[in-house]
Structure 1
Amino acid sequence: MLQGGALAAMFAAAFAASAPCGAATQAPAFATIFSDHAVLQRDQPIVVWGKAPADTVVTVTLNGKSEQAKADGGGRWRAQLPAMAAGGPHVLSVSANGATTALNDIMLGDVFLCGGQSNMELAMAYATNAPIDIPFGGSPNLRFVNIARETSAARRDEFSTAPQWQVTGPQTTGQASAVCFHMARALQRQYNVPVGFVNASWGGSSIQSWISGPSLRKLAAYGQGLDVLDTYARDAAAGGRAEEARQEAWWDKLDPKAAAQRAWSKAEFNDAGWPSLEPGGRWGESGIDALKNHRGVVWFRTTVELTAQQAQAASHLLLGQVATSDTAWVNGVRVGAGNAWWAGREYAVPKGVLKPGKNVIALRVLDDDNSGGLLGPADQRALRTADGTRITLPQRWKYQIGSRVSAVQQSAPWEPPGSLTTLYNGMIAPLQGYKFKLAAWYQGEANAGDAREYQTLLPMLFADWRQTLGQPGLPFMVAQLTSFGSVATKPGKSAWAELRQAQSLAVRNDAHAGMAVTFDFGDRSDIHPGQKTIVGERLARAARAVAYGEKITPGGPEAVSATRSGGDIVIRFANTNGGLRTYSSDLAIGFEVCEQAACRYAPAAAEGDTVRLKGAATAGASKVRYAWADAPFINLFSADDLPANGFELDVQ
């Protein structure tokens, strides 16, 4: 029983909670992107926003300038302060009816937005020269904020995890995006103004995840997926059912046996006649003859015994990495699907699906060109409870070979890294109103293999972010895909070269875009090369030309034409910065001449701003290519040591 004073205190607290909030007892607040140590964009009107009691008039003050705004019925307010010159530190405050919220150590300078996948996400702690750059590379005038990974089916006005601006220094720099840090540091030193950078990136993510729904809907191919995503945003269970129907319709179209094999997902199906194996790698390497050369579908099933308490507590199915696509059922209920082999599978299991006693887990796995399977050790495959406890699944699984098919399965439109628009919703949309000097984009690995579409999607992302941020001319700096994967011993197709070409064309066709060519500092055995200093500094050079208007070339040599000259083909380059030169040879390597689809290597000699392909002007010569490989070996540079960009050009 509560006694005297305690009872009175309880009633007082209840009254305070239910009474209308007076402005004197509830201070207005800034949106979470604003915090101590933030950098605001100089020389542009400064938009700030936040929450306050409904209909409250707030006063926002910065650097001696004040503006008023009124909170709407939902408590949202937005104010615009006049443009201000670089400087600080300042106090940014918002007040209403005697209550004030103040943010300290605010700087005015240049702000950069950095986005993309893992090569943008890679932190300074893992980059080359980290032991030197982290303790000695920081500055009070160089600051950053990392946006927490957040996926959302619906567009958000606010971040679910409050970002925290940090000043670079020995204790903080290791957490910063390495590419963005080196770009920002180079520009901060060049112009001697405070610089802040916002890092919004997610390893393995596709570009479709970073574009808004209304923009993606301009491409008919995404309409159905976006419809499912909208349903999921309103009702997760209904969205799950809609996605299952979409996926299974795709399977029925792909595989005539899909309908019959779907019975293998049911809990009551009798798999007693199926053979078994211990997964832990690709089935082509299992030593099982029937699987050695199979390309297509393999089904896997296992059972796990649960107590009543475990069945009640378990909430997620963990499968580790799966090569390459999978659909998962628990007791006949579809719980998820994925198609990125590098991303560990984690599927939510709806309440009531797991039962005390025997529970059946079934997987339909679709391979890639290297066969498929459940990768990694057995302890990665488990049921997880809300408190983090793991219930490990059996090591041996039953399996059955399915159809021989070749395709890439879609993933659920709300599941990163292959989702549609969800990273834009959770990580970009809440920035609406924050002003930037430029944006930097380092992404494309996840989209290699569909360069033609990327050539449409990258300009779409440029336009989409510019519209969201209210900056129609926002400059974009693009880090081109680096060197990784297969080397070429003869001319052939290259998904990475095609993607680089798409990036080049998108940048070339945008008056406010620049590019950093990076393949001379790549690592063909590591998709995440640690040398980020060069990438960041090349982005900074492009920014000096495109965003700051310096009269310098934004980068290295770019091929602009290929013409016949007698029996030769002459390729003319721009941005040679004093002429072309070759390293370790009198000849430039990596050039090809093609007669339609048939290409051959061609000897090439640099002459000033041109490269001459001797004897290449045959009657059927239709195009020329350079550095056309996933991991090209190249030796053609500008006079100031910048690599010539790869290309494919028609012969005129």
Structure 2
Amino acid sequence: MLRYRLSVLTAAFAVATLLLPVIAHAELKMSSVFGDHMVLQREKPIHVWGWTKPGSDVTVKLADKSASAVADDKGRFDVSLDALPAGGPHQMTIAADEMIVFKDILIGEVWLCSGQSNMSWPVGSSNDADLESRAAKFPNIRLISVPQVGTQDPQHDFNGKWEACTPETVPSFSAVGYFFGRQLHQTLDVPIGLIDNAWGGSSAEAWVRRDVLESSGNFDELLAKWDDTAKTYDHDKVRAAYDKKLAKWEEIKKGARPREPRNPLVGQHRPANLYNGVLLPVLGYTLRGSIWYQGESNAGRAYQYRELFPLMIQNWRDDWAQSDFSFYWVQLADFRSESEQPSESSWAELREAQTMTMSKLANTGEAVIIDLGEASDIHPKNKQVVGKRLARWALAKDYGIEVPFRSPTYKSIEIDGNKAVVTFDHVGGGLDTFDVNQPMGFAIAGEGGKFFEATAKLVGKDKVQLVSDQVSNPKAVRYAWAENPVCNVQSKEGLPMTPFRTDDRPGITKGVVK
């Protein structure tokens, strides 16, 4: 235990020192992630940090635990408090030349809620918002949000505060985060702390440290593109042109109002911008894990996402210095017009890249929601089921609760004459269908590589048999391979089958890197 605590502090201190601006703090200061009403992680050493006068002795006390440190030459201090069981409320004091006191602190389970707009999408805009908000009377669920700041300069604080979950506070909070946390709270009967730092439209590369992307060697073209943009983009010039265009529009009021330009250099796509702006201020806060809903902005570069997504997760884990904390994500939902015939799909390729990540990193999991999307809206409103499917992963893997949690996944394929027989893992009580008895969503290809809709039949508990009048010698099978596939296979427990393909033909996003 002692070695673990020292390693956490050493690694976290190394990252913080590397990124910390050379500013000597004269007054005692804490990141806003620490404050009244916060939830601290139970049953793990609790990392606390802040800034004060360099060389000052600092003592932190919480409940019956205490730890001390000396602020370094930049004024940064880090301490590790012994683990506490769930409970509270407690009080924390941080004492140096001054003293800070935080009150109404609970000990429970802490999760980070991150990604793009489908994670930031609020309760107030989701299904049954009126009923959900009125019922959100959970004083032991605590919420905090990180404002959107995109920058290449490391940020160490933000404007935010912890609040108890009430009908007044929940409408603006992440719906997926809230429904996930509520399920944990009701099942485990412990306090829950949720940190929301999602940013709509964000690209995965914006969540990764610049030097990590550089060291990978897989993102040189992407970084070069942004470096060129940084050298040539003049926002003042763009803004001036917009002001002239707007003034002209104001005179005649004809056509659509010109859209105000956004500065890409401080937005949510530039590599490292969100790592520095919205992740770093909370990085190191002791937690159980993270939930993630993102990928839409990277769908056009799905092959690149195969490397980028696991790199991002590993970067977070390395810098958090809290072992391989749990990381669960939402696979992209169905979207756009339904596909009448098998076709190539960038969204299918992105889903494939997401699924691949489970085999690359431990303590990861994927909530499949291919049944919950909306053709005309990239933001499906049924966030309740999304949160519950993520919660199933956490309840099963982190808390030892026996609940179905993983969707059926492709295992193997056998060819029997003109039939393809596909076997699946994680089928629970057995494969089943939704809405109609006939399994839908399968396509089969022969020697020529062209896919045709297949007639499918469930065989036993874990197999699907496929045939097509147009394919006499099957070579490959695909399932739900489209932006918005018509598909209906699930486990008897209601978890939809994971989209897959058995071939490795180059997809339409292969080679797209920027």
Q: Alpha carbons of 1:138 and 1:565: their partners in 2 closer, same or farther (altered >3 Å)?
A: farther
Q: Alpha carbons of 1:395 and 1:610: their partners in 2 closer, same or farther (altered >3 Å)?
A: farther
Give me the identity figure in percent: 33
Counterpart CA distance in 1 for 2:101 and 2:496 is 48
Deviation at 1:139, TM superposition (A): 0.7
Other-structure match for 1:624: 477
Other-structure match for 2:30: 30
Deviation at 1:641, TM superposition (A): 1.4
Write out per-residue CA displacement over residues 312-340 of structure 1, whole angstroms, 9 at most, x where no aligned residue.
Answer: xxxxxxxxxxxxxxxxxxxxxx52xxxxx
The count of aligned residue pairs is 470
Asked if residue 599 in structure 1 is aligned to residue 451 in structure 2, the reply is yes
CA contact (8 A) 1:152 1:422 kept: yes
CA contact (8 A) 1:558 1:575 kept: yes
- Aligned residue identity for 1:599: F
Structure-to-structure mapping, 1:416-431, within 5 angstroms: 416-431=267-282
CA contact (8 A) 1:487 1:632 kept: yes
CA contact (8 A) 2:151 2:266 kept: no
CA contact (8 A) 1:52 1:71 kept: yes
Counterpart secondary structure, 1:90: strand
CA contact (8 A) 2:40 2:105 kept: yes
Asked if residue 168 in structure 1 is aligned to residue 179 in structure 2, the reply is no
CA contact (8 A) 1:586 1:605 kept: no
Counterpart CA distance in 2 for 1:228 and 1:568 is 48
Asked if residue 147 in structure 1 is aligned to residue 8 in structure 2, the reply is no
Which of 643, 646, 652 is 2:496 aligned to?
Answer: 643
Q: Alpha carbons of 1:393 and 1:110: their partners in 2 closer, same or farther (altered >3 Å)?
A: same
CA contact (8 A) 2:444 2:468 kept: no
Other-structure match for 1:87: 87
- In structure 1, list runs of 5 or more residues that go unmatched: 1-22, 232-238, 245-333, 336-346, 355-360, 362-380, 385-389, 397-410
Write out per-residue CA displacement over residues 560-583 of structure 1, whole angstroms, 9 at most, x where no aligned residue.
Answer: 111113431111112221111123
Counterpart CA distance in 2 for 1:581 and 1:134 is 34
Counterpart CA distance in 1 for 2:429 and 2:360 is 25
Counterpart secondary structure, 2:464: strand
Other-structure match for 1:382: 243
- Aligned residue identity for 1:531: N
Q: Which structure carries more relative contact order (alpha carbon 8 Å, separation 6+)?
A: 2
After superposing on structure 2, the runs of 4+ consecutive aligned residues of structure 1 that deviate more than 4 Å are 224-229, 390-396, 615-620
Counterpart CA distance in 2 for 1:225 and 1:452 is 14
Other-structure match for 2:182: 185
CA contact (8 A) 2:150 2:268 kept: no
Structure-to-structure mapping, 1:200-215, within 5 angstroms: 200-215=197-212
Counterpart CA distance in 2 for 1:537 and 1:467 is 28
Other-structure match for 1:567: 418
Counterpart CA distance in 2 for 1:382 and 1:550 is 58
Using the size of structure 2 for normalisation, the TM-score is 0.85
Write out per-residue CA displacement over residues 528-582 of structure 1, whole angstroms, 9 at most, x where no aligned residue.
Answer: 1111000000000011223334454422211211111343111111222111112
- Aligned residue identity for 1:348: D
Counterpart secondary structure, 2:197: strand
Q: Alpha carbons of 1:60 and 1:455: their partners in 2 closer, same or farther (altered >3 Å)?
A: same
Other-structure match for 2:375: 524
Which of 433, 440, 443 is 1:589 aligned to?
Answer: 440
CA contact (8 A) 2:334 2:485 kept: yes
Write out per-residue CA displacement over residues 443-501 of structure 1, whole angstroms, 9 at most, x where no aligned residue.
Answer: 00011122111111111111011011112311111101011112111111111111111
Query: RMSD value over aligned CA atoms?
Result: 2.7
Counterpart CA distance in 1 for 2:86 and 2:264 is 42
CA contact (8 A) 1:243 1:412 kept: no
Write out per-residue CA displacement over residues 347-367 of structure 1, whole angstroms, 9 at most, x where no aligned residue.
Answer: 3349xx97xxxxxx4xxxxxx
Other-structure match for 1:339: none
Using the size of structure 1 for normalisation, the TM-score is 0.68
Counterpart secondary structure, 2:281: helix
Other-structure match for 2:130: 131
Other-structure match for 1:633: 486
CA contact (8 A) 1:628 1:647 kept: yes
Asked if residue 488 in structure 1 is aligned to residue 476 in structure 2, the reply is no
Deviation at 1:58, TM superposition (A): 1.5
Counterpart CA distance in 2 for 1:441 and 1:422 is 17
Counterpart secondary structure, 2:280: helix
Q: Alpha carbons of 1:584 and 1:124: their partners in 2 closer, same or farther (altered >3 Å)?
A: closer
Counterpart CA distance in 1 for 2:441 and 2:225 is 46
Counterpart CA distance in 1 for 2:468 and 2:345 is 25
CA contact (8 A) 2:205 2:269 kept: yes
Counterpart secondary structure, 1:61: strand
Counterpart CA distance in 1 for 2:412 and 2:210 is 38
Counterpart CA distance in 1 for 2:74 and 2:469 is 70
Write out per-residue CA displacement over residues 180-224 of structure 1, whole angstroms, 9 at most, x where no aligned residue.
Answer: 100111011111111111111111111111111122113435447
CA contact (8 A) 1:120 1:179 kept: yes
Other-structure match for 1:12: none
Q: Alpha carbons of 1:583 and 1:81: their partners in 2 closer, same or farther (altered >3 Å)?
A: closer
CA contact (8 A) 1:566 1:617 kept: no
Write out per-residue CA displacement over residues 351-387 of structure 1, whole angstroms, 9 at most, x where no aligned residue.
Answer: xx97xxxxxx4xxxxxxxxxxxxxxxxxxx5369xxx
Counterpart CA distance in 2 for 1:509 and 1:166 is 37
Asked if residue 472 in structure 1 is aligned to residue 323 in structure 2, the reply is yes
Other-structure match for 1:243: 231
> Quick check: which has more Rg, 1 or 2?
1
Q: Alpha carbons of 1:224 and 1:634: their partners in 2 closer, same or farther (altered >3 Å)?
A: closer
- Aligned residue identity for 1:52: T
CA contact (8 A) 2:452 2:470 kept: no
Deviation at 1:628, TM superposition (A): 1.1
